[in-house]
């Protein structure tokens, strides 16, 4: 990576001490999915690195995004009076890919234990890619509803709803030291896949009906918001509270406990300003690119938080990728642009600025991910996508292999 390094000595020393601890009380996960994954992983060759499973699963979400974007770039395919113009087979492929992603995401940790390669790199790699998938997966469903039933400004808040659900879990771990796996994740994966399969069998037009003005899109929003408020947010708040009350967590001061929210809130505020006050209404003209831009920067913030909580170091209060974003928003939303510059910002110019910033942020985020993984591999003398004798030896020195989970306390190394 040349002279640029993303991990300090404090990060690396923290990774050396790190052990992954999680608690999973979801009945679907504990009694159905884990036994299924334990069975399936027996058919995976032991020479296959667990990170390969993780990466292949992530690629399935990328394939879905590209495939649906090709047929419905502007989320307008469902607006057609003759029915959704996206071919039926696309929904089937997307549904299958979601299940592949979900199951490989559940099997990678078990493959790591089978091969004796459990360690912090696997968890970082897994959760880092999950943060990117969190931005991609909800976008698939927007094409079922179209911009008539789900306008881009409402898409914006639903995307942020998913960001919040994902991020809070890692804020919780940053303060408690334990990953309390949310119930909603397993049901969400099956729900998304089921919605896509239904679109194949009965046609996506079924998602456009309404009863007394209450549409399927409204129901989708209601369930998405309600599931977080009922099954996730209050439980996370309670777990953090109990960790302080019982002195089992990190016992950070109040402002340090809240520090992970600073970058998250800054990103939300900046994106809200652009979404509402763009001089050329960019949110309605290029919503898909906006979601990718916002999702990429969110993923970078989440990855840096994951690095901090795994290495037990202080997380960032601001993300470097938000500086060019804030400057861009300032230009695109400046109220006196025409008076000051004697010309107005054209729609095409704002679009090109958006495209350029998205490309820059994506490349910067990829560089960060590649850099962090490379630095960890160099430090622990391991390979990301290959199992070697040195890999096993290094990981065995780093951590003990943890036994498979009990129903109420699932502790596993990824």
Catalytic residue among 11, 34, 127, 365: 127
Contact between 119 and 125 (Cβ < 8 Å)? no
Note down pLDDT in tens along the chain; length 414 residues. 556 899 999 999 999 999 888 888 888 999 999 999 999 999 999 999 999 999 999 999 999 999 999 999 999 999 987 778 899 999 999 999 999 999 999 999 999 999 999 899 999 999 999 999 998 999 999 999 999 999 999 999 999 999 999 999 999 999 999 988 877 888 899 999 999 999 998 888 889 888 888 999 999 999 999 988 888 899 999 999 999 999 999 999 999 999 999 999 999 999 999 999 999 999 999 999 999 999 999 999 999 999 999 999 999 999 999 999 999 999 999 888 888 888 889 999 999 999 999 999 999 999 999 999 999 999 999 999 998 765 555 555 444 433 443 443 433 333
> Whose structure tokens read 């950070």?
252
DSSP 178: S
Ordered alpha helix ranges (H), 249-381: 254-277, 282-285, 287-311, 322-333, 337-341, 347-380
The torsion angle over the Cα atoms of residues 170, 172, 178 and 183, rounded to 10 degrees, is: -80
Is 127 an active-site residue?
Answer: yes
* Whole-number Cα distances in Å, 335 to 195, 278, 340: 42, 9, 10
Name the pairing type of β-strands 22-24 and 179-181.
parallel
C-alpha span between 48 and 333 (Å, rounded):
50
């Amino acid at each position: 990576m040349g002279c640029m390094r993303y991990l300090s000595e404090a990060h690396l020393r923290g990774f050396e001490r790190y052990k992954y601890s999680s608690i999973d009380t979801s009945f679907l996960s504990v009694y159905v999915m884990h036994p299924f994954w334990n069975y399936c992983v027996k058919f995976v060759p032991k020479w296959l690195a667990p990170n390969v499973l993780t990466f292949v699963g992530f690629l399935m979400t990328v394939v879905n995004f590209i495939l649906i974007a090709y047929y419905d770039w502007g989320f307008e395919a469902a607006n057609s009076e003759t029915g959704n113009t996206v071919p039926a087979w696309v929904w089937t492929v997307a549904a299958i890919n979601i299940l592949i992603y979900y199951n490989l995401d559940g099997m990678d940790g078990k493959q790591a234990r089978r091969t004796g390669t459990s360690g912090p790199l696997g968890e970082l790699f897994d959760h880092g890619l999950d943060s990117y998938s969190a931005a991609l997966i909800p976008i698939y469903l927007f094409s079922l509803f179209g911009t008539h039933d789900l306008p881009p400004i409402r898409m914006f808040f639903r995307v942020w709803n998913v960001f919040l659900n994902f991020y809070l879990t890692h804020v919780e771990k940053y303060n408690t030291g334990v990953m309390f796996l949310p119930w909603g994740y397993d049901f969400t994966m099956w729900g998304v896949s089921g919605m896509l399969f239904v679109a194949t069998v009965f046609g996506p037009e079924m998602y456009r009906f309404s009863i007394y003005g209450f549409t399927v899109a409204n129901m989708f929003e209601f369930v998405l918001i309600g599931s977080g408020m009922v099954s996730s947010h209050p439980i996370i708040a309670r777990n953090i509270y109990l960790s302080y009350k019982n002195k089992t967590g990190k016992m950070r001061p109040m402002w340090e406990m809240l520090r992970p929210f600073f970058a998250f809130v800054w990103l939300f505020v900046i994106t809200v300003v652009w979404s509402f006050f763009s001089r050329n209404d960019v949110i309605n003209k290029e919503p898909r690119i906006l979601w990718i831009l916002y999702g990429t920067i969110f993923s970078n913030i989440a990855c840096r938080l994951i690095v901090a909580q795994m290495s037990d170091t202080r997380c960032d209060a601001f993300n470097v990728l938000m500086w060019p974003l804030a400057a861009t928003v300032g230009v695109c939303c400046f109220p006196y642009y025409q008076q000051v510059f004697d010309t107005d910002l054209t729609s095409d110019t704002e679009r090109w600025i958006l495209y350029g910033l998205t490309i820059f942020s994506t490349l910067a985020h990829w560089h960060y991910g590649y850099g962090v993984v490379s630095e960890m591999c160099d430090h622990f003398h391991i390979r990301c996508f290959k199992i070697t004798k040195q890999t096993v030896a290094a990981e065995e020195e780093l951590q003990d292999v943890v036994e498979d989970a009990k129903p109420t306390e699932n502790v596993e190394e990824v």
